[in-house]
Amino acid sequence: MTDRGRPIVAVLGATADEPPSGIESANELAEVRYVGDRDEVADALADADAVFSWGAGRSWLEDAFAGATRLRWIQTASDGVDGLLFPALAGSDVVVTNARGVFDDPIAEWAIAAMLAFTTGLTTSVVDQTHRRWTDGRRRDRVAGQHLVVVGPGPIGRATAVRAIALGMTVEAVGRGARTDDVLGPIVGPDGFHEALGRADHVLDALPFTPATRAMFDAKAFDAMRASAHFVNVGRGATVDEDALIDAIRSGVIAGASLDVFVEEPLPADSPLWSMPTVAVSPHVSGDLHDWEETVVAVFVDNLRRFVAGDPLRNAVDTEAGFGVG
């Protein structure tokens, strides 16, 4: 709490005429300022105690950060924080929290749907339908008994594993260090990454984007997979070398992919991924439920209550590592 009584919170990327749905209760706890234009950010942050980054780019905050001398807390509206963090913020004492928990289950459902569609041949049927082509006599596998390798054993990976196990799949994971998890089972460290990929029927990329994960899925990673393997990305596009992925699918190194995130978004119209028959392209909507905005705002308001009371905040982010830790 500041010495001025109620804290000042700047909501970046929203206006008073079109505020985030459900944010009205924040007015009881703080002085809420809406900043809909990046030219207004520096003035709004000059005496602000907190920021709710709603629809603003990283540059909005980065350009004004040096003058935000009272800033102590930033809440982001997303789970991933690679679009928010910058060196000065990572090196500061400002607490960053994210929307962890809001998107885990819907993204996990999307990932399971992608695996089911790929395994049952539904993706092939959708492609055939566009050509009015009746291709009967196909045979398919079952997901029961197939093996899922989760790369990035965070909340999304765990939520996906729970559903995969319920369908009769086996699961293992790759993380920052070797350990055993009560949901994911064995987690291997980076040294076991390629070996684990070689055991997978489906590979789930649920990684945050950090310097350590940039292009982690490169040609060597795809070469380690089975020719029948299916790659699913719900993490971040930049964790994948897209040229290597395209080459791997074209050459039959892997069987296909279901992608919700890309290096460049929107995916450029000339990307080969659009027209590859064993690739499903989704426009970064795997977690977007009808009420996701209200749910994210509820996380912010709950954290604002904690901030005012001086209590620990939910969903703290390790700004140096580049991802949420709780």
Catalytic residue annotation: 236, 265, 284
Cis amide leading into 266 (omega within 30): yes
Q: How many CB atoms lie within 10 A of CB 143?
A: 18
Number of residues that make up the chain:
326
DSSP assignment of 132-181 equals T----S-----STT-EEEEES-SHHHHHHHHHHHHTT-EEEEE-SS-EEE
Torsion angles phi and psi, residue 285, rounded to 5: -125, 15
- For CA atoms 86, 95, 43, 38, the dihedral sign is positive
Separation CA 66–CA 301 (nearest Å): 26
Residue from 68, 76, 82 nearest 52 by CA: 76
Separation CA 231–CA 208 (nearest Å): 16
DSSP assignment of 179-240 equals EEETTTEEEE-GGGHHHHHTT-SEEEE-PPP-TTTTT-B-HHHHHHS-TT-EEEE-S-GGGB
Separation CA 256–CA 226 (nearest Å): 11
> Structure tokens of 217?
């899925």
Torsion angles phi and psi, residue 11, rounded to 5: -100, 105
